[in-house]
Amino acid sequence: MSTQTTSFQEAIKAATLWCNAWERGELSDEVLADRVAELVSNTEGTRGFFVVSMTSDSPLMDRLPDPLIYKLREAGELVIDITVRNLAMSSAMAIHHQRNSDKKQQLCSERITSRCIELLRVLEPNKVKEILESLLNATQKNKGEYVIFLNRWNYDKEQKMAINISINSIAKN
């Protein structure tokens, strides 16, 4: 698979195939990590990988094999940025689903939030801190590069507070 031409849809298909094969024991942690590294070398591939790994029932993001952590850390800022955006979206959507009494979707959003928190704890700490501070600046002071992102989804005060709580929980434990 050429990472230069990997579309979002191709990345979703590849990530689904690889996560399922890994879960069945058909791919080692190392082989999976190498294949994921191909995907996370570009934005669409990274987005596709995280759509599958964060939202599916696959235990991959709950176990976080060391070779995968290494490859995700190696991928750098792109992985951190998309994980931070997923953290913000899932934190805000948990509030949305709670308001709509949709417990099933609320639990799904909370699981994604938890997975993002755990992943951010093992990525490069200085860059994670920098990007999280930028998101906090956007939620608290309406300043910085994440303001457009937050405004696009029209998150309200309570949802922004949920995002802040999730960010602050990364430093705990």
6, pLDDT greater than 90? no
Average pLDDT score over the chain: 95
pLDDT given at position 2: 44
The average pLDDT across 11-35 equals 97
Q: Which H or E run contains 25?
A: none
Q: What is the tens place of the pLDDT at every residue in 115-157? A: 999 999 999 999 999 999 999 999 999 999 999 999 999 999 9
Give 3's pLDDT tier (boundaries 50, 70, 90).
Answer: very low
Q: What is the tens place of the pLDDT at every residue in 46-90? A: 999 999 999 999 999 999 999 999 999 999 999 999 999 999 999
**Confidence (pTM):** 0.94
